[in-house]
Amino acid sequence: MTHKHALSSSELATLWMTYQEKTMIQRILEYFIEQADDTRAKEIMQNTYKKNMSYVENIKNILKKEGAIIPVGYTEQDVNTGVPKLYDNMFDIMFLRVLQEISMGLHTIHINMSYRKDIVLLYKELTAFTQSVYDECTDYLQEKDVLPRPPAVSMPKTVEFVKSTNYMSGFNLFSGKRSLNTVEVAHLYYVIEMNIFGMQMITGFAQVADEPEIKKYFIKGKELSKKIVTDYTQILLQSDIQPPSTWGAKATDSKIAPFSDKLMMYCTSLFCSFGLGSNAIGTAFSLRSDLPFTLIGTAKDILTYGQDGGKLMAKNGWLEEPPQMEDRNELTK
Reported as a single tens digit per residue, the pLDDT across 119-133 is: 999 999 999 999 999
Return the pLDDT at 292: 84
pLDDT more than 90, % of the chain:
66
Return the pLDDT at 172: 56
CA 299, CA 71: separation in Å to the nearest integer? Answer: 30
Q: 75 and 243 in contact (C-beta within 8 Å)? A: no
Q: Per the CATH hierarchy, to which homologous superfamily does domain 173-315 belong? A: Ferritin, core subunit, four-helix bundle (1.20.1260.10)
SS3 153: coil
Mean confidence (pLDDT) of the chain? 90
| Of 304 and 160, the one with more pLDDT | 304
Mean pLDDT of 100-109: 94
9-143 and 173-315 agree in CATH topology: yes
CA dist 274 → 150, 208, 297 (Å) = 20, 24, 16
Mean pLDDT of 3-32: 93
Q: Which residue blocks in 66-116 are alpha helix, DSSP H?
A: 91-112
Reported as a single tens digit per residue, the pLDDT across 243-297 is: 876 556 789 999 999 999 999 999 999 999 888 887 777 777 787 888 888 888 9
Reported as a single tens digit per residue, the pLDDT across 283-306 is: 777 878 888 888 889 999 999 999
Question: Structural domain boundaries of the chain?
Answer: 9-143, 173-315
Q: Per the CATH hierarchy, to which homologous superfamily does domain 9-143 belong? A: Ferritin, core subunit, four-helix bundle (1.20.1260.10)
